């Protein structure tokens, strides 16, 4: 019995205790190091993906001013990163009396014009010139409006025009090959594109250009995107003549996109 006790005392020496503590410390340090390295790897992957996503978004929103030739299209891209965000701010109702007068004058002038469209130039309150480039008719929601446009495509001018009527945002001439994009406010009533979200696949939209030619378009898609998503304005239509309507959702936080395609192209 005494020998066993002596042997145990000999086996559990201070040196052995020191080594056990050292091994324990090394083990804990190794686990900590693995956790740190794993955390760094996860953070690096997240940062890389975030950076790639940011670059992707920026590439979509970048202002490009080089001519784009898609079929017969000869246009210039001037998509600005804040246009859809700023100009379609429908949080306030439009109560401007002058806006109503301007719209009524435009509609009456278009009715009197021999080509159905009055191509005279008018001025906004800030002095920017604009004209009618098309007339859009949507029987299902009882909409008939002049589509107006200004050579000054700044967000401020576009915002001012949107209080008068619906506005050409981007694309070729009306009824030409490509994607003719129109933006309009949603004032939660029957005005402008407030009821556009109710359009369904197969519904008709009519667009008349300055040459007095009217094309019928059939809706083929209706969806919602974030304000900074400009893919709906793409001119890659595979040779088709298309129409895109853009307005706010009922909450104003997103955008309703209506895509339509001409029944018979030029």
- What is the fold of 63-262? Sortase; Chain: A; (2.40.260)
Per-residue pLDDT tens over the stretch 57-76: 334 433 333 333 333 333 33
> What's the rounded Cα separation, in Å, for the pair 219 and 93?
28
Q: pLDDT higher for 33 or 97?
A: 33
Instruction: Name the least confident of 34-38, 44-48, 137-141, 192-196.
Output: 44-48
Please, are residues 141 and 166 in contact by the beta-carbon 8 Å criterion?
no
- Which region among 135-144, 147-156, 232-241 has the lowest average model confidence (pLDDT)? 147-156
> Range with the lowest mean pLDDT among 35-39, 111-115, 234-238, 248-252?
111-115
| Mean pLDDT, rounded, of the chain | 75
Q: Which residues of 11-48 are buried (b: 16+ CB within 10 A; e: fewer)?
A: eeeeeeeeeeeeeeeeeeeeeeeeeeeeeeeeeeeeee
Q: What percent of the chain has pLDDT over 90?
A: 24
- Comparing 93 with 145, the larger pLDDT belongs to 145
Which of 63, 87, 88 minimizes the C-alpha distance to 77?
63
By the 8 A CB rule, do 263 and 217 touch? yes
pLDDT in tens, 157-181: 888 888 888 999 889 999 999 999 9
DSSP 64-125: --SEE-STT--EE----TTHHHHHT--SS----HHHHHHHHHHHHHHHHSTTSS----EE-T
Confidence band of 258 (pLDDT split at 50, 70, 90): very high
Mean pLDDT across 111-139: 82
By mean pLDDT, which of 11-15, 82-86, 127-131 is the weakest? 82-86
Cβ atoms of 222 and 145 within 8 Å: the answer is no
Looking at residue 72, its pLDDT comes to: 36
Residues of the chain with pLDDT > 70: what percent?
68
Minimum mean pLDDT range among 3-12, 61-70, 233-242: 61-70
Run of H or E residues at 161: helix 155-162
Tell whether the model's pLDDT for residue 50 goes beyond 90: no
**Domains in the chain: boundaries:** 2-58, 63-262
């Amino acid at each position: 019995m005494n020998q066993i006790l002596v042997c145990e005392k000999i086996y559990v020496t201070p040196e052995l205790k020191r080594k056990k503590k050292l091994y324990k410390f090394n083990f804990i340090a190794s686990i900590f190091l693995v956790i740190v390295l794993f955390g760094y790897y996860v953070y690096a992957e997240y940062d890389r993906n975030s950076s790639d996503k940011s670059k992707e978004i920026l590439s979509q929103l970048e202002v490009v001013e080089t001519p784009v030739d898609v079929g017969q299209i000869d246009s210039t891209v001037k998509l600005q990163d804040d246009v859809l965000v700023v100009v379609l701010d429908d949080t306030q109702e439009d109560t401007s009396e002058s806006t109503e007068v301007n719209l009524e004058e435009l509609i009456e002038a278009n009715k009197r014009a021999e080509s159905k469209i009055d191509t005279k130039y008018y001025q906004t309150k800030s002095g920017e010139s604009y004209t009618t480039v098309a007339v859009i008719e949507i029987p299902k929601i009882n909409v008939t409006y002049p589509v107006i446009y200004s050579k000054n495509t700044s967000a401020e001018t576009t915002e001012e025009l949107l209080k008068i009527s619906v506005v050409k945002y981007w694309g070729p001439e009306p009824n030409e090959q490509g994607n003719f994009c129109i933006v309009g406010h949603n004032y939660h009533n029957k005005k402008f594109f407030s009821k556009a979200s109710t359009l369904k696949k197969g519904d008709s939209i009519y667009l008349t250009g300055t040459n007095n030619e009217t094309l019928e378009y059939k809706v083929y898609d209706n969806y919602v995107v974030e304000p900074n998503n400009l893919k709906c304005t793409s001119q890659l239509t595979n040779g088709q003549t298309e129409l895109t309507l853009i307005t706010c959702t009922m909450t104003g936080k997103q955008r309703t996109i209506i895509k339509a395609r001409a029944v018979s192209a030029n």
